[in-house]
Amino acid sequence: MISHHTTRKIKSDCPKSAPKFALILKILSVIYKMVQNNTYATKRDIYYSDTLLFGSQSVVDNIVNDISCMLKIPRRSLHILSTTKGCIAGNLSYTEEDGTKVNCTCSATAVTVPSNVQGIRNVITDAKFILIVEKDATFQRLLDDDFCNKLSPCIMITGKGVPDLNTRLLVRKLWDTCHIPIFTLMDADPHGNCMLTAE
């Protein structure tokens, strides 16, 4: 038994459980097709594929989490990706899983963190350090001031407040790949500063 987790039963022959059971089967069929075709989707993509059926995004989120828990595998193995909100800029280039080459040259705009962080390869950088900036406004100000080039070649990342899973995974991947120091710029709220923990 897994501690600190609740369990529930859903029966296919119970009228009360039937709608939930049907939605689970629907999402399992979507997952099966994606695995067979080696394609990926976000939970948001799945919701928008049939908004009338699912009713709300939270329904899809909960069912995906249930399936992941039931099968004891991460969402990535279900071919379901997290929606990314983080941004990255600075002395970094890499190749995405589909072959797209990305150059995160520091400028007035940043590059969105890839939705499939585990699929990126050929990571190239001359950065001396990574700077994690909690607030997007501060991140943009540093970009406008050309911080990445003026001080020293570096990589800047923001999760725009509370970081999403992909942004945290990218920080971990860069640490594992580049082995350069990581610094953070954040406010004094300890509850919002969880960038360095990656699932």
Phi first, then psi, for residue 181 (nearest 5°) are -60, 145
Catalytic annotation present for 48: yes
Catalytic residue among 32, 40, 47, 48: 48
Whole-angstrom Cα distance, residue 191 to residue 162?
A: 9
Task: Kindly list the catalytic residues.
Answer: 48
